[in-house]
Amino acid sequence: MKIELNPIDPLSRLIYDKHKIGANVRSSVPPCTLCREVPEGAVRGHFHGSELGQCKLKTYWDCTSGSTFEDPLEGRVSEDDIDARAAFLLDGHLHEENIIKNIAASGMNIMGYGNQDEYERKIQVYVRYTKNGEKSSIDFTMPHNKAPNRDKVLEGFEESFKIIAHLDGILEVKSKKTGKEMLAGVECKAVKDYTWKKIKETSEISDIWYGQIHSYFISNHHIQRFYLFIKHRHTSQMMKPILIMRNDDYIKRRLTALHDVYSAILDDDPDKYGIKAEHTSPKDSECKFCPYKERCYGKVKVDLNTVYEEEE
């Protein structure tokens, strides 16, 4: 049956426009409660979980550029395509919700959190400097507000930055070794074909995803393992959950990187703290989707077929 794709019907156009407006309204509310308190264009002095593994320079610009940045799509695609990004990101939450509900329906004990404010984790990071002869070292601690001996743990430490994290869910499973119940974190990603094939072919995931998961590790010390669920947006295929174990050396390295960014923000001096791009090619996966890529590499070609891939 042949149909008219663009009917001369004012109600059809109205509904179409309202859908776009609604998607933009819903996506314009930051999931981070602290971001909602930051005036538009102002400097942001806290970090998000996904920034733990992100390029230091991009994080610095994210925090100091406010809402003004070079959109790689502007002037290259239609306004309808740009508006579609809002709905694209919102759809990711539906995929996440379905993954959690499917696991729960099987009888496993899983709790899905999504981006609900009551499940937001505010991680206060404390820092301590130690000098031993010519060498100096930096240590971090993140004790829970109700942790026993908290004051003793914080001796010699000073308050530094905050990280805001939103876990997708927590799975309660029984350990085969001890027979005791243990907690495992759940992170869900819905990807298009480009990223799906890339992970299958290279056995590599985004540095940003890996860092994001480690921000969840430091938000809950009872969790020592995470399962990354990857779903194909178009076919609904699922990869077997990818096991990611806590890596304390990685956490310290990336907290040090965020501490450098935080210090650079406070002093308004990125050069002093060595805030530079962590990649060298515009073809790197993080650079490919970065809104600031032209600051680093000049005018480059944007792959419009994959531009949404890593935003999820």
Q: What is the predicted pLDDT for the residue at 69?
A: 45
Cβ neighbours of 173 (radius 10 Å): 14
Predicted model pTM: 0.83
CA dist 244 and 53 (Å) reads: 14
Q: Could you say which DSSP state residue 107 is in?
A: T
Which pairs from 115-121 meet CB under 8 Å and 24+ separation? Answer: 115/31, 115/166, 117/33, 119/166, 119/167, 120/31, 120/32, 120/33, 120/164, 120/165, 120/166, 121/49, 121/164, 121/165, 121/166, 121/167, 121/216, 121/219, 121/220
What is the per-residue pLDDT across 87-101, written as a single tens digit (0 to 9) for each? Answer: 666 777 788 888 888
The more confidently predicted of residues 16 and 80 is 16
Q: What is the mean pLDDT of residues 244-256?
A: 95
Position 175 pLDDT exceeds 50: yes
Mean pLDDT to the nearest integer, 213-220: 92
Instruction: Show me where the domains of the chain are located.
Output: 10-311
- H helical segments located in 65-144: 79-105
Q: Which pLDDT does position 25 carry in this prediction?
A: 67
If you average pLDDT over residues 26-39, what whole number do you get?
79
At 16 the pLDDT is: 75
Q: Which residue has the tokens 């959190």?
A: 113
Report the alpha-carbon distance of residue 274 to residue 207 in Å, rounded: 20
Q: In this predicted model, what pLDDT tens digit does every residue of 181-203 receive, in sequence order?
A: 888 999 999 998 989 999 999 99
